[in-house]
Amino acid sequence: MNGRACDGCAFWSKALSFDALRFCKKPRIKNVISKNILNADLHCHSIVSDGTLTPEALAERAKLNGVELWALTDHDEVGGQHRATAAAKAQGMRYLTGTEISVTFAGETVHIVGLGFDPDDAALTQGLRDTRGGRRERAMEMSDGLAKVGIQGAYEGALKFVGNPELISRTHFARFLVESGVCKETSEVFRKYLTEGKPGYVPHRWASLKNAVTWITQAHGVAVIAHPARYKFTPNEEYALFTEFKTHGGLAVEVVTGSHTVQEAVKYAETAREHGLAASRGSDFHSPDESRIDLGTLPFLPGELTPVWELLEDRIQ
């Protein structure tokens, strides 16, 4: 970090003024390019999970939006990785392999992003297969719950939106309920039908934190806590998440993501520093029709943090 200029501040000061500058303890040195000034987008989804674009269309869109380093991170699945790697190469864009693993921790679903792993690693691919198992039964139970409030045929309806039947998710149900006119947009479906206590919500036990982090790190990747502001943890539970994550070998946390407000990004920049974790940046883009934040359009990482790509230099393709 010696001599690192805090060029990210230019962006952060616009959005945040004083708050962002708080993190810039080092003097700003003009014309020194920080490693943080990189249009990396290390979180998005394709039709292989619950996105609506193919890996090739995502690569093209990322390139058009100026992304320099890209990762496709489909939920619980690495089936799109070889296509994404080839598509990135065809676009002249650097690439890191990716996935986003569903984990159950302290009774909540937590997402752990993996970056830069070997996508053919046997333990990782088996672990992901096990994590996907049970989605079909869960989806049928969700459909039963929705039928009880008068919404018929939701399982079959959701299936029409699924690219990969093993990955049927709440997002596909949300698209079906929008298509059938029950709600105007997917966020309304989640609010009214698909979150805890609502008729289409079915609790599910995903992978353990230890397993998810171990699969990623043993496949030579880096594990990243995804969008930490999204979880409803008490401060003690959140502290336990971060400390256990590190114990298992986790090295990074998403700071700048499409799921965070500016204030949340500032908060988790501080958390990353407190825990000595590297920082990641990713839009969590799913669809041109649904996602608020497009690929490659987020602010850069705050200047003083170690970007996760610094840990993955030899894994970038």
Contact between 187 and ligand AMP by CB under 6 A: the answer reads yes
Contact between 190 and ligand AMP by CB under 6 A: the answer reads yes
> Residue 61: which of ligand AMP, Mn ion, none does it interact with, CB under 5 to 8 A by kind?
none
> Residue 17: which of Mn ion, ligand AMP, none does it interact with, CB under 5 to 8 A by kind?
none
Q: Give me the amino acid identity at 109.
A: T
What separation in angstroms does the CA of 305 have from each of 2, 30, 55, 253, 310? Answer: 12, 18, 30, 11, 11
User: CA-CA distance, 123 to 189, in Å (whole number)?
Assistant: 36
Contact between 41 and Mn ion by CB under 5 A: the answer reads no
> Is the separation of the CB atoms in 307 and 316 below 8 Å?
no
Window 143 to 172, contacts with ligand AMP (CB under 6 A):
169-171
User: CA-CA distance, 96 to 7, in Å (whole number)?
Assistant: 24
> Residue 63: which of Mn ion, ligand AMP, none does it interact with, CB under 5 to 8 A by kind?
none
- 16 versus 216: smaller Cβ distance to ligand AMP: 216
Tokens of 33: 């390019």
Contact between 286 and ligand AMP by CB under 6 A: the answer reads yes
Judged by CB under 6 A, which stretch of 112-120, 182-190, 207-215, 260-268 contacts ligand AMP? 182-190
Q: Give me the amino acid identity at 75.
A: H
Tokens of 84: 């994404």
x-marked contacts with ligand AMP along 104-143 as a string, rule CB under 6 A? ----------------------------------------
Coil, helix or strand at residue 285:
strand
> Residue 132: which of ligand AMP, Mn ion, none does it interact with, CB under 5 to 8 A by kind?
none
> Is the separation of the CB atoms in 28 and 148 below 8 Å?
no
Q: Give me the amino acid identity at 37.
A: I
Q: How far is the CB of 47 from ligand AMP (least distance, A)?
A: 13
Q: How far is the CB of 292 from ligand AMP (least distance, A)?
A: 10
Q: How far is the CB of 238 from ligand AMP (least distance, A)?
A: 19
Closest CA to 94 of 73, 67, 115: 67
> Residue 121: which of Mn ion, ligand AMP, none does it interact with, CB under 5 to 8 A by kind?
none
> Residue 190: which of Mn ion, ligand AMP, none does it interact with, CB under 5 to 8 A by kind?
ligand AMP
Any idea what the Cα angle at residue 34 is, between residues 33 and 37, rounded to 5°?
95
Contact between 50 and ligand AMP by CB under 6 A: the answer reads yes
Closest CA to 115 of 106, 104, 124, 105: 124
> Residue 217: which of Mn ion, ligand AMP, none does it interact with, CB under 5 to 8 A by kind?
none
**Interface residue with Mn ion, options 111, 135, 175, 260 (CB under 5 A):** 111
- Give kind and range of the element (H or E) at residue 117: none
User: CA-CA distance, 312 to 96, in Å (whole number)?
Assistant: 8
Contact between 170 and Mn ion by CB under 5 A: the answer reads no
Judged by CB under 6 A, which stretch of 15-23, 53-61, 66-74, 186-194 contacts ligand AMP? 186-194
| Radius of gyration for the alpha carbons in the chain, expressed in angstroms and rounded | 19
According to DSSP, the β-strands at 222-225 and 252-257 are parallel
Binding region for ligand AMP (CB under 6 A): 50, 75, 102, 169-171, 186-187, 190, 286
Binding region for Mn ion (CB under 5 A): 50, 100, 111, 226, 284
